[in-house]
Amino acid sequence: MTRVPAILILLVGATAFFFWLTRSRAGAEGTERVFRVGQEWSFVGRSSDPEPTLIIVRVETLPRIGEVIHISVRGVRIRNSHAAEGYVDTLPHLPFSPAALQRSVTRLVADSVTLPDFKPGYEEWRRAQGGAFTVSVREALDLAEQAVK
pLDDT for the residue numbered 25? 36
* Model pLDDT, residue 32: 83
Domain spans of the chain, in order of start: 6-147
Q: Residue length, the chain?
A: 149
- pLDDT at position 82: 86
Q: What is the pLDDT of residue 24?
A: 37
pLDDT along the chain (149 residues), means of 10: 58 53 42 93 92 97 95 94 90 97 96 97 96 96 87
Q: Which of 56, 85, 52 is nearest to 72 (CA)?
A: 56
Taking alpha carbons only, the member of 49, 36, 50 closest to residue 91 is: 49
Question: In the 3-class helix/strand/coil scheme, how is the chain assigned residue by residue?
Answer: CCCCCHHHHHHHHHHHHHHHHHCCCCCCCCCCCCCCCCCEEEECCCCCCCCCEEEEEEEEEECCCEEEEEEEEEEEEEECCCCCCCEEEEEEEEEECHHHHHHHEEEEEECCCCCCCCHHHHHHHHHCCCCCECCCHHHHHHHHHHHCC
Q: Tell me what pLDDT residue 30 has.
A: 56
pLDDT at 147: 86
Residue 79 pairs in a beta bridge with 87
